[in-house]
Every structure is written in structure tokens, then in C-alpha cells.
Structure 1
Amino acid sequence: MAASDGPRSVERALDLLDAVAEGAGPVSAKALARRVDCSLSTVYHLLGPLTERGHVVRTARGYALGHRVPHLHRAYGRQVRTAAAMREVLPAVRRATGAEAYFTVFRGGEISVVDSTAPPGDGGDPFVVECERRAHATAHGKALLAAVPRAARTRYLDRHGLPRLTARTITARKEFEAELARVRRTGLAVSVGEADDALSCLAVPLGAPLGGADGAGAEAQALSVSLPTREYGDRHPRVAEVLQRAAERFAD
């Protein structure tokens, strides 16, 4: 079997797709070969089917994401409960609070930011649309982890840990569980400078979570808002009110 065949070929093709996605613009084949640590001939071999299927496109300056990518994002949205409603809810929350709003999900054992009101690519967005690896220190992460069964939460924390990001980050499991109990009791999650000293956020869970007691297939969703920590004291009552009112729309 050739080096570019089989499961390893699939891994490298996905590595290439990720490398193209992470580029600020089109990426040359030579640059891709360096990023994924494989030969240029292998890169061209793997880019062929990715290009034919529309996942990437070849331009004069290199390879960029193709038309198939937005189709996959829309398809993902169709499979996530309440995603369609977010097209109305997120802008409404943004207008009411004057702060960026985010829609996040716990699905497949991971937490992801699915959509937000932040302009794409402006460089100042604290929560970009991708997998969230600071969930223990964010309001939306707390809202989601509080909603899923303990077994699913344990697997998530075993995989990602609770690394210290600021002096305020909760890093002990017992303390974190106490924090999640508070979230379940109040229906509101907060993070004041826990992921970034300069940023704070609030979040509410949306609807009832899915999944069995063993955490298998656990799914949960949350709506959140981020704002500068220096403004949190004055603005958080209004933000909390807006979020809790928006969550009522998804109550069972």
C-alpha cells in the first residue's frame, strides 16, 4: 500500500483541509507541504479529490476553501436544534445588549461555537466559530457542561482538563462542580475574567439537553454574550435579563 493510501491518506487530506482553512488567504502547495510535513507530490495527489469535490479551490495565489464548505456549515446548522432560530435571536440580542452574541453547542463530546454576531476575520473576536477549548473558563462552556450528564462532563474534562488561563480561572474539579451547581440553580452562567482578564461573559442554556444518563449522545445548547470586564459591573444585569428572556423562547 502506498504511503498516501488508506487511513493515513484520509488523515493527511483532512490536515490539508485544516491548513487551507487556517490560512489568511490562498495557500501555496509548497506551503501546505511544509505545514503538514509531507512531500509536494503527496500534497498534489490529495488536493486532487478535495478540489474535485469542491472542498478547496485552486486560485492564482494558491489553494483556498471551496464552495462545498458553506454547504457543510448550512447542513450542520440543519442538524442542530434551534440553529435556524439563531438567525433572528443573535442579532436581536446584539441590538438589546450592545455586545456580541454567540450560539454554542455540546455535541459529539465537544463544545463548539456555531454562530455569532461578530464580524468574521476582524481579529478582535474572543470566541471564533470553531471548537472551544477554554470551556471551563467561559460562561457558555459552564452553561453547557452544567446541562449534560456527569458522565459526559467527566469525559470532556478528562480530555481537556482545567488549565489556568488567568488568576480567576477555576482549576479544581470540586470547585468547578460547585460552580456548575450554581449555574443549574440560577439558570445563568458567568465568567468574569476567567478566560481572559479583559473579557467577561454571561450565558444561558437553551431548551432541555438530550442524551441518556450515561452521557452517550449528550447534546446541549447555550446563548451567550461577551463584554469588556471593565464594563461587566454596570452592564451585566441588563445582559442577564436579555439572555434569560431570549431563553424563554426555547423552553419546553
Structure 2
Amino acid sequence: MGDPADHTPMTAVQHAFRLLEAAAAHEGGAPAAQLAREAGLPLEAALETVRALTEDGYLRVLDDGGLVLSGTPHDGNSGQGAVDLVRPALAALRDDLSAAAYLTFYEEGEIRVAEIVDGPQTPRVDLWVGFEQAGHATALGKAVLRELDDEARRDYLARHALADLTPRTITHRDELLQQLESSMRTPVVMDREEYDLGTTCIAVPVYNGGKLGSLGVSFRADRMYRTRYVRESLLASADRVSRGLTLDP
């Protein structure tokens, strides 16, 4: 159990996940004290985290005072439940790396952004071209393409032109496939100013049951100075996100 006075980003997200896991087990809602016990947290620390999760919209207070995941069918928005559940992990990743955090899913043959968590000091990249048309030019897209089987990857590339977005964009299919295959030793994929000049992104795959996605962060190109730490933090966050996604009601 964490010290109630410990407010580091990683401790905060661990507390949040424990409470969200406990809340996910009670579709009818449960009081904060019960969730604290089931999460194995001191009541004071749990109440502080519950307050933050409620204010940010991750938990909802029922008429009887019980707490329920705000993405459950009770509020008619079950499709958003998975993203609601892992948003604290995205926020912690943003704070840990001082970088905007992104989550995508591969749905119906397209790579779609599900959530972006940024802030005044960590602005998102200018999405001047939709990710559905830029999978070849983004770390988030490449992380998905890398995980697809050969048939699904061929199908995607047959339906999407490799548009020249910057002078660094890979526009030749064989070169892109060679890059994806060369990264098979590690799940970490990067794009270096291939989508937006001045921006470098790094991403890894995540899974929501059988659904593939990716988790990534973006930096100014001149700020990529702690690559090993960034990768370790991103991989740890991806593991938490994948575990959190499985809790979607």
C-alpha cells in the first residue's frame, strides 16, 4: 500500500487503477469506503483519489451515494468505458514524460485516435492530416502496422496511399515494410519528423482483448534526450493500459 502522502504520478495512477478496478466489479455502485478496502488503500488516500476521479469524470456518484464507473451502461455510454478507465494512466504518462499522450485503436481496418491527453505545457501535435490517412507516417500508426499479420497489413497498405507529408516521410511500400520488420526485436516504434516537422513521436502497441491499438507520446524533435527512460516509461504505461482496457464493462 502506498503512503497517503505520496503524490508521485506513478503512485497516483496505481491508486486510481486499484479504485477503478474495484468500481468495475460493482455495476450497481459501491461506497467509497468499500472500494478503498477492496483496493487495499488507506481510506484517506482513497478518498483523495476518488475525489479526483469524480471531478475528472472517471467515476460517477449515484443517488444513493455509491460510486460507479462513468463509462458503464448506467449512463448510456458503454463504448467510452475503456477509454475512461485508462485515462488516468495517459495523464500519468503525460506528467512523467512532459509530453502529450495518445491512444489509438485499429477498428474496421482504420487506425483511429481514441484519446489525447495534453496540457498547456505539453501541447498535442497539430493534427493537420487525420491519422486514418497517416498511419505510415506516425509512430502510433507504425506500432499498429507492425503488429498486424501479413494479410491485414497488405490490405491496409492497398487501401492507403503513402502520402508525402514531410521530406522525412517514407513513401515507398518496400522501405516502410523493411523498417517495420527491422523493429521486430522491440515493440517500440518511432517517427522522426515524418508526420510533422519539428515533432518526434514514440509508440508501442496495446491490446483491448482482441482489439489492437497503440500508445504513444510526442515531443519537440530537439527534446528527445532521454530515449531509454522514455521507452521504459512508455512500455510500463502500455502494460497498465492493456490491463485497464480489459476491465471495460
TM-score, normalised via structure 1 length: 0.59
Q: Distance in 2 between matches of 1:124 and 1:203?
A: 14
Q: Residue 226 of structure 1 aligns to a residue in which SS?
A: strand
Query: CA 1:76 to 1:209, structure 2 compared with 1: closer, same or farther past 3 Å?
Result: closer
For residue 240 of structure 1, what is the aligned residue in structure 2? 231
Q: Distance in 1 between matches of 2:79 and 2:179?
A: 31
Structure 1 position 224 matched with structure 2 position 227:
no
Contact 1:143 1:183 in 2 (8 A): no
Tell which has more relative contact order, 1 or 2 (C-alpha 8 A, sep 6+): 2
Q: Residue 92 of structure 1 aligns to a residue in which SS?
A: helix
Query: CA 1:185 to 1:127, structure 2 compared with 1: closer, same or farther past 3 Å?
Result: farther
For residue 155 of structure 1, what is the aligned residue in structure 2? 155
**What is the aligned residue count?**
168
Contact 1:191 1:201 in 2 (8 A): yes
For residue 106 of structure 2, what is the aligned residue in structure 1? 106
Q: Distance in 1 between matches of 2:123 and 2:95?
A: 21
Q: Distance in 1 between matches of 2:171 and 2:186?
A: 22
Contact 1:142 1:183 in 2 (8 A): no
Structure 1 position 77 matched with structure 2 position 80:
yes
For residue 6 of structure 2, what is the aligned residue in structure 1? none
User: How far does residue 127 in structure 1 lie from its aligned partner after superposition?
Assistant: 4.2
Contact 1:113 1:127 in 2 (8 A): no
Answer with 1 or 2: which has the greater Rg.
Answer: 1
Contact 1:147 1:209 in 2 (8 A): no
Runs of 4+ in 1 over 3 A off after TM superposition: 122-125, 207-210
Q: Residue 241 of structure 1 aligns to a residue in which SS?
A: helix
- How does 1:125-136 map onto structure 2 within 5 Å? 125-127=125-127, 132-136=132-136
Contact 1:202 1:224 in 2 (8 A): yes
Aligned letter for 1:173?
R
TM-score, normalised via structure 2 length: 0.59
Aligned letter for 2:230?
V
